[in-house]
């Protein structure tokens, strides 16, 4: 398999891409503000179940995690950042 084919099959997402996908400010300041505003997540609350998501944002997060999709790594990263 050529590198180009491999890259097409395995997209690399950045945290800013996840924020953009969720319709949130995706620049460094916007991400930092979001983390400060919403952390720490309450104990026992999974990221998709946090109260600050819209229904569509929460569903996107759940679907991506359940499918172990390409976004899962960045969703896990965001959960870790919000854990405090």
CA-nearest of 15, 21, 27 to 82 is: 15
List CB contacts of 3: < 8 A, sequence separation 6 or more: none
**What are the residue ranges spanned by the domains of the chain?**
15-82
Q: Is 19 helix (H, G, I), strand (E, B) or coil?
A: helix
**CA–CA distances in Å: residue 3 to residues 6, 8, 10, 46:** 5, 9, 10, 36
Q: Quick: pLDDT tens for 42-70.
A: 999 999 999 999 999 999 999 999 999 99
Q: Which CATH class is domain 15-82?
A: mainly alpha
What would the pLDDT profile of 14-42 be if each residue is shown by its tens digit? 999 999 999 999 999 999 999 999 999 99
d(CA 59, CA 55) in angstroms, rounded, equals 6
pTM of the model: 0.84
Residue 84 confidence (pLDDT): 76
Q: How confident is the model at residue 6, as a pLDDT?
A: 46
């Amino acid at each position: 398999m050529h590198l180009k084919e491999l890259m097409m099959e395995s997209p690399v997402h950045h945290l800013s891409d996840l924020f953009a996908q969720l319709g949130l400010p995706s620049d460094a300041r916007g991400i930092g503000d979001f983390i400060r505003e919403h952390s720490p997540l309450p104990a026992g609350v999974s990221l998709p179940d946090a109260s600050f998501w819209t229904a569509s944002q929460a569903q996107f997060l759940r679907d991506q995690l359940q499918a172990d999709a390409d976004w899962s790594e960045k969703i896990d990263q965001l959960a870790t950042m919000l854990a405090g």
